[in-house]
Structure 1
């Protein structure tokens, strides 16, 4: 079968894009999801994709809230994601503390932009039950919302949004790194066959390892990202110093699932069932190796 792989077109996707260039649609096709993980989960649910490479927290919280559209099958990025806290160029907000009791912009409900707002509130000691959100669909809608004052701020990955800051469209007033490794891989439990998934994850691992090599980080990675995304070389070099990839894309550390659930529960974003969560319910045990 040809897998439909949903992804977000960001610099993190570089190893996947290199794989896709060589595969040329023989074993999988890429489906871009510019609105982020909320859109990826929606497309998994609506039979528009079979596999999603998406943010850890929305994937795990979606299953915790009862979604049966996917199970976790692997890891993609092992380091935290640095979320910039972003406001309008002329807004009155100058620090994270100023955002208390305001309306935050999010791409979709259940997205990383929403779950991280709960994490930020937890860190600030704000009552998470009082959080208010406005859905703005994509990065363009989010930027517009902080400049027309319909939202106070939004959260998005630092380097992805830095060009908007550099162009003077927005301001950064803080950042909140994720307290977990940032990207996992999920797949529909029926549509994505075990054999096709195992082949995909095995081959993806070779591209991830190559991208993660010290030699490629110095030269080839910089040129690829510069060509594909147009980022300044200094930003690419700075990002490459912060990002890490797994040795095996078909493995997930058990502690990643447990600790993500713990933080999201403390933040008030999910509620554990009586007796707590069972990690086995979050993964496709035919595919993934829990370590």
Structure 2
């Protein structure tokens, strides 16, 4: 079978894109999901992709809330994601505390932009029961919403949104790094065969290790990202200092799942069942090893 792999076309995806170019569609095809993890989860649910490389928190919270459309099968990025808090170019909001009791823009319900709003509220000491959201689908819709005043702010990855800040379309008023490693890999429990998944993950690991090497970071990674995404060399080098990838994509530290569940529960985004969560239920044990 040929896997349909959903992904977000951002700089984080560079090792995956390098793998895809070398593979030429023999073992997998890429399905771009510009709206982010909420769209990736929706496409897993609707049989539009078999595998998704997506943000840790929405993947884990989706399973915690009862989704059976996927299980976790691997790790992709081991460092936190730095979520920028972004407002309109002429808005009155100057800092995160100014956003209390306002309407925040999100891409979709269940997306990283929503789960991180709960984390931000937890850090600020706000009641998470009072959070108000407006769904704006993608980065363009989110930018339009903070500039037309229908939302106060939205959250998105720092370097992805920096070009819009540099162009004067929006402003940064703060940031909230994730309290967990930022990207995991999920797959449908029956559509994606274990042997095919294992081959995909093992080969992806080789591309990730190469991309993550000191030698490649010095020049080749910078040139690849510049060519693919058009970022400035300065921004690319700054991002590379903040990111790390796993040595083995087919393993997940159990603490990543348990710690993420703990923060999301404390933030009021999920509720623990009686007796607590069973971490083993979050993964496909035929594919991934919990470490």
Equivalent-residue separation in structure 2 for 1:271 and 1:68 (angstroms): 17
Query: Cα distance, 1:200 vs. partner?
Result: 0.1
How do residues 1-291 of structure 1 correspond to structure 2 at under 5 angstroms?
1-291=1-291
Equivalent-residue separation in structure 1 for 2:285 and 2:272 (angstroms): 21
* Equivalent position SS for 1:12: helix
* Equivalent position SS for 2:146: helix
TM-score by length of structure 1 reads 1.00
* Equivalent position SS for 1:101: coil
Root mean square deviation, CA, Å:
0.2
In structure 1, runs of 5+ residues without a counterpart are: none
In structure 2, runs of 5+ residues without a counterpart are: none
* Equivalent position SS for 2:249: coil
Query: Cα distance, 1:218 vs. partner?
Result: 0.6
Query: Cα distance, 1:219 vs. partner?
Result: 0.5
Query: Cα distance, 1:44 vs. partner?
Result: 0.1
The number of residues matched between the two structures is 291
Runs (4+) off by over 3 Å = none
Query: Cα distance, 1:196 vs. partner?
Result: 0.6
1:218-262 per-residue CA deviation (whole Å, 9 max, x = no partner) reads 100000000000000000000000000000000000000000000
Query: Cα distance, 1:184 vs. partner?
Result: 0.1
TM-score by length of structure 2 reads 1.00
* Equivalent position SS for 1:163: helix
Equivalent-residue separation in structure 2 for 1:268 and 1:157 (angstroms): 22
Query: Cα distance, 1:56 vs. partner?
Result: 0.0
